[in-house]
Chain A
Amino acid sequence: MIKLIVLIVAAALIGFIAWWFFGKHTTRAVDAAMTGQSQDAAVEVSGGYSPSTVVLKRGVPAHITFNRKDPSSCLEQVVFPDFGINQFLPKDQDQVIDIDTSKAGEFDYACGMNMFHGKVIIK
């Protein structure tokens, strides 16, 4: 009897894992706030990047402020391969990263181990 319960629980757990990690979960894109001659966005780093997609206007100097709440060493660096940025994020401190918005497009960024992903859209 107990073995049957274990079996059912195990099957349920596997199903949950599949749904939770592989299912479609929509993320929201956030527009950067315009302040005078520049635009700013804030990204909280905690188990991922939230918001994970930031939309910037082309041609306006942009600053994205990362604040790492997560203690994991996985997330301690943020890498923008297209811009040659590899920035260390001190824990619980604001770290401003300037983005070159001269070219439109979608630019992915990731943590140092390339396990967590975020995106900057310039249009």
Chain B
Amino acid sequence: MSIKNRFVFSLIVSLPMLVEMVGQPFGFMLPGGAWTMFLLTTAVMAVSAGPFIESAWAAFRHHHANMDTLVAIGTATAYLYSFYATLTGKAVFYESAAFVVTFILLGQYFEEKMKHSASGAVSKLVDLQAKDAEVMRDGQLVKVPLAEVIVGDIVRVKPGQKIAVDGVITEGTSTIDESMVTGESMPVTKQAGDHVIGATMNNTGTFLFRASKVGSDTLLSQIVEMVKKAQTSHAPIQKTVDKVADIFVPAVLMIAILTFTVWYVFLGASVVNAMLFAVSVVIIACPCALGIATPTALMVGTGRSAKMGILIKNGEVLEAANRVKTVVFDKTGTITAGQPQVTDIVGDPETVLDVAASLEVSSEHPLAAAILDKAKADGRTVTAATDFKAIEGKGVQATVNGQAALIGNDKLLADYALTTELSRQMTKLQSEAKTVVLVGLAGKIIGLIAIQDAPKASSAGAIAALKKRGLRTVMLTGDNQRVAQAIAAEVGIDDVIADVLPGDKADNVKRLQADGPVAFVGDGINDAPALTTADVGIAMGSGTDIAIESGGIVLVKNDLQDVVHALELSKKTFSRIKLNLFWAFIYNTLGIPVAAGVFFALGLSLSPEIAGLGMALSSLSVVASSLLLNTSKLTSAPAPTAA
């Protein structure tokens, strides 16, 4: 019989007793008196409370005691005593037993419903998966179930379809909504060579992609696995709670016996009153609220962060994130985009860029790639120059549209003069640690292009937000001091540690830990030791597998703003855990003396029914408080994402 049915049964059967309780002052009595109540309560005890007693007995045989023990002993005492009182013609309190069972079942029913919604995040993630895929087999596109897609398959995706597995686009372009996996709200444009993520939604175009990861290797499966582990993990704070819970129930039983003895033997109360106090103690003391305080909050907190593209691996990380004082960033790929980009063009932008792109079109230099990317992004058509000739150690020259053109580094200054304006600009750009390229046409320098591994758009905002939260920010990089300083000044980082050898990153983190717990944000293989050493390792989702493995938190979106969100959500979740535990403890420590009649002289006491209702409410309030984490406001509300 389900909890709901047991509750409905006991509610209906208890109703006549409720009517009598209300009607008693007006002289209303149930026909049959105590014997009718006996029959009704027997039904409740047998049907609705039966499982409590069964389970309490099973636990007892294993030298265990749990909440069922308390419910069973409390209600059975009330019931058996009332039966004895019926036979001997004394006052009965059957209704206490029946009402307590009803209230506790009501509490359990709601708790069950709420627990399901707290653990819903994972099943929602799994539901995101596509059910089938159109796969190329023997030159034909055939629809196969998801499980039959293998690595290397060519899969076709039409507009509005879900992408089945992870892979790389081989043909076609489209915009893809990846919000379900990365939390990124804007659709992303993808073309041949770009990676696609399984379970994301294809919006506009039809494309083919080669499956690279299937089954449990896909990003979604790994996210699900990580979230599951996080949700079943225990925060260290829980260990104390477990110790308390282990001795709690037997201790309560002893207190109940003491309560009865003190009231009956020493204070001269009647057997009925002494017993009511003892029963109230047993009923109010259920430690369920303590038991669910941590897991429910952890579940809701990690589930919510997963939806934002922030994967928190376990409760330990969450508790550590809450204490972080310093956030250390790797530079390349974390604060910056990780590849050189054109940041400034001096001179007529279109001409300068066109000439530069024509000269660099067949070059494999990383700076050339930056210029070509910029030309492509600006929608310029690039025509290759002719008659290439290298200028030894300085650059290249060639013919563009019938005119002599050249591009090269600052050593060209030996041969060409700059206007005062250009030379002023050049000094300024170089002081910003940018690499400056000179572009010449028809025997004269017409402009400059500055190239830099520039900070991501979100970096400065994220660092400002961290500083606002009172955290110290540090940049740790293998790059030279001048470049590091320039980037640090641009994004507003407090301290810079430059010229760090790859193997020394972890040592530097250790040194910073002397001043308090440290979070390290990184993405590369060389960051793995630092990620493990730091109290909280935050890995970029685009990073290497080893970095993701080493990090305690993974940011799927690679957005530094998520560092802020991750720390804030951890703090929120952890303080919710503490709040839950506080209320659960307070409730028990205050509830027990009140139920035991310590404040009876002040007119403050609890009947078993009220104790039962209170117990149900305490569990409910804890679960409800955890669920509220889902709606709690983040002060670092997601910044408007740049398209």
Q: List 18 A-B contacts (CB under 8 A).
A: A3-B265, A10-B261, A21-B247, A47-B55, A47-B59, A70-B54, A71-B50, A71-B54, A72-B51, A73-B108, A74-B68, A75-B55, A84-B232, A86-B231, A112-B115, A114-B245, A116-B59, A116-B64
- Given A17, A47, A113, A116, which contacts B292 in the complex, CB threshold below 8 Å? A113
A84 & B58 in contact (Cβ 8 Å cutoff): no
Residues of chain B with a CB closer than 8 A to A10's CB: 257-258, 260-261
Q: Which residues of B contact A80 (CB under 8 A)?
A: 232
Chain B residues 220-260 with CB under 8 Å of chain A are 225, 228-229, 231-234, 238, 242, 245, 247, 249-250, 253-254, 257-258, 260
- Count residues on chain A whose CB falls below 8 Å from chain B CBs: 36
Report B-chain residues with C-beta under 8 Å of the C-beta of A72. 51-52, 55, 59, 66, 68
CB contact between B254 and one of A17, A86, A114 (< 8 Å): that residue: A17
Please measure, in the bound complex, the distance between the C-alpha atom of A13 and the C-alpha atom of B254, giving whole angstroms: 8
Asked if B265 and A7 sit within 8 Å, CB to CB, the answer is yes
Contact of B232 among A6, A23, A48, A85 (CB under 8 A): A85
Residues of B within 8 A of A57 (CB): none
Q: Give A95 to B593 CA distance when docked, in angstroms.
A: 43
What per-residue 1/0 map shows which CB atoms of A30-57 lie under 8 Å from chain B?
0000000000000000111010000000
Q: Which of B50, B68, B238, B260 has the most chain A CB atoms inside 10 A of its CB?
A: B68
Question: CB distance B232 to A115 under 8 Å?
Answer: no
Of residues 112 through 168 on chain B, the ones whose CB sits less than 8 Å from some CB of chain A are: 112, 115, 119
Report A-chain residues with C-beta under 8 Å of the C-beta of B233.
81
C-alpha gap A83/B233 in the complex (Å): 9
Determine if A18 and B67 form an interchain contact, defined as CB atoms under 8 angstroms apart. no
B597 at the interface (CB under 8 A from A): no
What 3 A-B pairs have minimum CB-CB distances, sorted nearest first?
A47-B58, A84-B229, A71-B51
Which A residues are CB-close (under 8 A) to B67? 74, 115
Say yes or no: A25 contacts B63, CB within 8 Å.
yes
B53-108 contacts to A (CB < 8 Å) = 54-68, 108
Q: Which of B3, B63, B238, B245 contacts A73 (CB 8 A)?
A: B3
CB closest residue in chain A, given B234: A81
A69 interfacial contact with B, CB 8 Å: yes
Most central of B51, B52, B247 by chain A CB within 10 Å? B51
Instruction: Let me know if B291 is at the binding interface, CB within 8 A.
Output: yes
Interchain nearest-CB distance for A8 vs B (Å): 10
Q: Is the CB of A48 within 8 A of B257?
A: no
Separation of A80 and B232 alpha carbons in the complex (Å): 7
Give A14 to B259 CA distance when docked, in angstroms.
12
Minimum distance in angstroms from A71 CB to a CB of chain B: 3
Q: How far is the CB of B447 from chain A (nearest CB, A)?
A: 57
Residues of A within 8 A of B231 (CB): 86
B583 CB → nearest A CB, Å: 17
**Nearest Cβ distance between residue B146 and chain A, in whole angstroms?**
21
> Is the CB of B295 closer than 8 A to any CB of chain A?
yes
| Contact of A48 with B254 in the complex, beta carbons under 8 Å | no
Q: Which residues of B contact A22 (CB under 8 A)?
A: 247, 250
Given contacts A81-B232, A81-B234, A114-B234, contact A74 B295 (CB under 8 A): no
Interface centre among B59, B232, B247 (most CB of A within 10 A): B232
Smallest Cβ distance from B625 to chain A, in angstroms? 17
**0 or 1 for each of A51-79: is its CB under 8 Å from B? (1 = yes):** 00000000000000000011111110001
Known contacts A47-B64, A114-B242: A7-B58 contact under CB 8 Å? no
Do A84 and B225 touch (CB < 8 A)? yes
Chain B's nearest CB lies how many Å from the CB of A23? 8
Question: Smallest Cβ distance from A5 to chain B, in angstroms?
Answer: 10
* Chain A residues in 8 Å Cβ range of B261: 6-7, 10
Q: Does B587 contact A (CB under 8 A)?
A: no
A47 pairs with B60, CB closer than 8 A:
yes
List chain B residues, Cβ under 8 A from A74: 55, 66-68
Given contacts A81-B232, A114-B238, contact A48 B68 (CB under 8 A): no
B110 adjacent to chain A (CB < 8 Å): no
Those of B260-289 within 8 Å (CB) of chain A:
260-261, 264-265, 287-288
Minimal Cβ-Cβ distance residue in A for B55 = A72
- In the complex, which residues of chain A have a beta carbon less than 8 angstroms from the beta carbon of B247? 21-22
- What separation, in Å, do the CA atoms of A29 and B201 have in the docked complex? 50
**Closest-CB distance, B619 to chain A (whole angstroms):** 10
List B contacts of A17 (CB < 8 A): 250, 253-254, 257
Q: Report which of A6, A20, A71, A114 forms a contact with B295, defined as CB distance below 8 A.
A: A114
The listed residue with most B CB atoms (<10 A of its CB), out of A18, A23, A81, is A81
Q: What is the bound-complex CA distance between A74 and B466, given in angstroms?
A: 42
In the assembly, what is the distance between CA of A84 and CA of B313, in Å? 10
Additional 6 contacts, C-beta under 8 A, given A48-B62, A116-B59: A22-B247, A47-B59, A50-B62, A71-B55, A81-B229, A86-B232
Q: Which of A20, A21, A46, A81 contacts B58 (CB 8 A)?
A: A46
What residues of A have a CB within 8 angstroms of the CB of B229 in the complex?
Answer: 81, 83-84
| Chain B residue with Cβ nearest A76 | B112
Flag A79-99 by CB within 8 Å of B: 1 or 0 each.
Answer: 111011110000000000000
Chain B residue contacts of A25, Cβ below 8 A = 63
Q: A79 to B232, Cβ gap below 8 A?
A: yes
The proximity string for A residues 92-123 relative to B, scoring 1 for CB distances below 8 Å and 0 otherwise, is 00000000000000000000111110000000
B258 contact set on A, CB distance < 8 A? 10, 14
CB distance from A66 to the nearest CB of B (A): 15
B63 touches A20 (CB 8 A): yes
- Most A CB within 10 A of own CB, among B59, B238, B292: B59
CA distance A114 to B66 in the complex (A): 11
* Complex CA distance for A85 and B228, rounded to whole angstroms: 7
Name A109's closest neighbour in chain B (CB-CB).
B232
| Smallest CB separation, B31 vs chain A (Å) | 34
Q: Which of A3, A13, A115 interacts with B291 by CB under 8 Å?
A: A115
Q: Which residues of B contact A84 (CB under 8 A)?
A: 225, 228-229, 232
In Å, the complex CA distance between A81 and B295 comes to 11
Known: A18-B250, A84-B225. Is A13-B257 also a contact (CB below 8 A)?
Answer: yes
- Residues of chain A contacted by B3 (CB below 8 angstroms): 73
Contacts of A20 in B (CB 8 A): 60, 63, 250
Contact indicator per residue, chain B 275-315, by CB within 8 Å of chain A (1) or not (0): 00000000000011001100100000000000000000000
Q: Give Cα distance in the complex from A71 to B58, angstroms.
A: 10
Chain B 367-398 per-residue mask, 1 if CB under 8 angstroms from chain A, else 0: 00000000000000000000000000000000
Considering only residues 1-25 of chain B, those with a C-beta below 8 Å from chain A are: 3
Given known contacts A14-B257, A17-B250, A112 and B295 CB-to-CB distance under 8 angstroms: yes
For A20, A23, A69, A84, which residue has the most chain B Cβ atoms within 10 angstroms?
Answer: A84
Which residue on chain B has the smallest CB distance to residue A21?
A: B250
